[in-house]
Chain A
Amino acid sequence: MIGNKYNKQKGQVLLITVMLLATILTVVLSLSFKSTGETQITKLEEESQKALAAAEAGIEAALKQGAIANISSLPGLESFTGSVNIETTKNNAFISPLLQKDEQYTFYLSQPGSNAPEQTDFTNLISQYNNNALTVCSTSNSIALELTLIKAGSSPSTKRFSINPPTTTIIQNAEDANQLGACPSGENFSYKHQLSAEDIGSNNLILIVRIINGTGKVGFTAPSGINLPLQGKSIISEAKSKTGVNKKVSLFQSYPQIPSDFFVTSF
């Protein structure tokens, strides 16, 4: 009788032991799995950061030396693949960055040197946009614009325009925006003004647009079927790590901009 009771108690200890072992095993395995997962995420982020840095390094290199066929050719980026390209596609429209009051944007109606984007001899501009209308748009109704067109010649000359937003008189005796032409897509423009082909004329080098009284962006549009000259370098850099993480960045570097603080007579 006493032996039977003892045998039954021996079976319970085994069950409890097995259950305990199972529990401990579950906990240990889940902890181990979590640690592995976090390690993988950390590694992924690290790869991502490296790929982004590689892509940005490609941008910096392209700014100095031009397009790069294989990003792995750059020092320290041997483990990456990818390329850095410089966009040379011309467009029918262009939007400036955000401009503050009294700031100006130098819009190119010419190309430096020999028309190739890699040529950066800005002391030798070649007129490209001539005898075509040009629409200038503003994203703000509180901005008036002063436009200074600089033309080539043995003695370069200027031609100036002043534009008020419709129904305002920010600049006395200036022209009201004529609301002709089209504005670039991608921004919400408040008003537009078209300079006629006669206004634009020939031998154009740069058009300087100065912001009077407000903050906003300026858009430029050529007539349909006509492209504007390039306004700077558009660089797209793509870098892919060995683990397959892919990053792509773009940078637009404008052609030289003359600061308004150095351009408008002031005292």
Chain B
Amino acid sequence: MRKSVIFSLILLVIFFIISNKPIYALYGAGPNCKVVAVGNCQNGIWSATCQGCECDIIDSSACQSANKSSCLSCTFSCSVRNEPAGQCNNPPTTGICQPCGAPPPPPPRTPTSTPTPTPTPYPTVVIYGLLKEYSEAMCYNNISSDNLSITIEPSFPNGIIHNCGITPPTEKTKSSYRCTIIFNNQNAAPTPIQDFFLKASANEYQSAYWTDNNVCNSIANNKISVNVAVENPPTAFNKDIFFQIASWIKLKNASFISSANFINIIPLNISPYDNDDTTNRYFIIGETGLVAANGLNMGTANISSKKWLTTGYSKQTILSTTNFLEYVRSRKKYQEITDITQIKEGINLYQGDLTININNQVNFNDKKTLLIVTGTTTIDIDNFQPNNGSVAIIASNINFTNDTKSAKGIFIGQTINTGTTTNDGLKIIGNLIANAGFFNGRKWENYFKPSLFIVFEPKIYLDLLPYLSISKYDWQQIQ
């Protein structure tokens, strides 16, 4: 009996030598299985990566594509070759390969009692999904970021090997991600039942999160529960990540200057404000000018097609609204009014606070008017647009009520408040200049449209040239 066993073993060794197969044992595999993955052995652990077309991939959809260099993880298949009948019965076709030279597993004993199931070595869980921009129940595929970070944090890190990859890895526009979580139950004792948490962030977005069932909403649930202790555990989880965007501002045909750090993240997927706007993903469209600011963050969008930019810039005030009023009083013709019905063509000075509404807008029709208000001017009209007229308003404070949807004119104030809405933007045709304070609480139902759209209009400047201007003097004594 002993001699026959020894003889069988010798035959087995001779068979392997003759067939010249490398010895990669696979748990439960027959003696003729061969791993076709390419990798290396380190510290007793086999690791393999996709190398061009050398890796025989099973379940990574990304690895099915032509560009297999984007594969980040894969599992392996064994091809059973020259299988003698009866010797590789039902070999598994997937698994983790043992290091070279590992002794073959002992032949199974004749069971006298119910055998204890052998745990699957290195159970692996994959979490993958699309990256999407979200705003108010609207979602679009792809995000744009220079510094996207995605990790999966285990509740019990012992024995857990995890890493995440992003597709594509280097370009700003990102479409998907894939994280691999390996339970290293061969060299450690990982907790087989535990939760994993998403940690994702990008400077260009407010937040990043999973939702239940990948529903497009703002209800975050960044936890996933994994149980690899059961038989045939789920190994792949499809979880899209949603990145929330904020409201933003767009200009047309303008230059821009700010002494502040100006943050205006423009989402990847944008909608035009109206027919005057385009889907060009810029801060300024049309005949663009220089953008000068102390600091600037537009996300990954460009400021304009011309990209004229200077940063670290501090604006110097040459003529404040107060100084201009003094200039008007000493050098220009103007009339002081006590009621808006007294407005005439030219410069009008009003002391105190003033509200422009649908009832008194008519006073601006057919006139080229500069209105200087020493207090607060409130624009409380759905569409402020003087008929056949041009108007500029200079005031300490200018407030647009929430009902105002558009206003045509040049609005210059120490502080300007565009109002606070949940589904209404504001369009300014002319210009808007806030010297000291600016608040924009405008929002649409979704943020893919700009909440404030300013279209520079030179005609108003030409119409008001005698009024909204100063003269420069050069005096010399010749004799």
Contact = CB atoms under 8 A, between A and B. Distances in A.
Interface of A: 52, 97, 100-103, 106, 120, 122-123, 125, 144, 146, 148, 150, 155-160, 162, 170-174, 205, 210, 212-213, 232, 236, 238, 246-267
A267 B438 contact: yes
B298 to A, nearest CB: 14
A94 B475 CA distance: 16
Given A100-B316, A249-B478, A264 B434 contact: no
B288 interface: yes
Contacts, number: 172
A129 B354 CA distance: 42
Nearest to B253: A158
B315 A265 contact: no
Contact of B458 (A100, A158, A238): A158
A256 B258 contact: no
B316 A101 contact: yes
Contact of B416 (A102, A157, A267): A267
Given A172-B308, A257-B471, A262 B319 contact: yes
B324 to A, nearest CB: 7
A173 B255 CA distance: 15
Contact of B317 (A148, A171, A261): A261
B431 A123 contact: no
Contact of B432 (A122, A125, A258, A267): A267
30 contacts: A52-B477, A97-B474, A102-B316, A122-B466, A146-B308, A158-B253, A160-B255, A160-B290, A172-B309, A173-B307, A210-B255, A210-B290, A238-B479, A249-B475, A249-B476, A249-B477, A249-B478, A250-B478, A253-B473, A254-B473, A257-B471, A258-B469, A259-B319, A260-B318, A261-B319, A261-B433, A262-B319, A262-B324, A264-B257, A265-B456
Interface in B196-239: none
A256 B474 contact: no
Contact of A173 (B306, B459, B478): B306
B50 interface: no
B289 A262 contact: no
Contact of B466 (A123, A160, A210): A123
Contacts of B256: 264-266
Given A160-B287, A261-B435, 18 more contacts: A97-B474, A103-B318, A123-B465, A146-B255, A156-B459, A170-B310, A205-B462, A212-B290, A232-B472, A238-B479, A249-B475, A257-B471, A258-B468, A259-B324, A261-B317, A261-B320, A264-B254, A267-B433
B463 interface: yes
Contacts of B476: 249-251
Interface string B439-479: 00000000000000010101101110110111111111111
Indicate the member of B412, B431, B433, B472 with the most A CB atoms within 10 Å: B472
Interface residues of B, number: 58
A248 B479 contact: yes
A146 B479 CA distance: 38
B315 A266 contact: yes
B132 interface: no
Given A251-B474, A259-B319, A213 B310 contact: yes
Nearest to A159: B287
Contact of A264 (B255, B368, B459, B478): B255
B307 A172 contact: yes
A174 B287 CA distance: 14
* Most B C-beta atoms less than 10 A away, residue of A103, A150, A158, A171: A158
B258 A267 contact: yes
Contacts of B320: 261
B446 to A, nearest CB: 23
B472 A259 contact: no
B433 A253 contact: no
Contacts of A172: 307-310
B410 interface: yes
Given A172-B308, A256-B470, A158 B456 contact: yes
Given A123-B462, A150-B458, A259-B324, A246 B479 contact: yes
Contacts of A246: 479
Interface centre among B316, B318, B433 (most CB of A within 10 A): B318
Nearest to B469: A256
Contact of B434 (A101, A123, A162, A267): A267
Contact of B292 (A106, A122, A212): A212
Pairs A-B, 10 closest by C-beta atoms:
A256-B469, A267-B438, A248-B479, A267-B434, A252-B474, A173-B307, A254-B472, A122-B465, A259-B319, A248-B478
Given A262-B410, A265-B254, A265-B432, A100 B318 contact: yes
B256 to A, nearest CB: 5
Contacts of B474: 97, 251-252
B219 to A, nearest CB: 34
Contact of A146 (B251, B290, B432, B475): B290
Contacts of B435: 261, 266
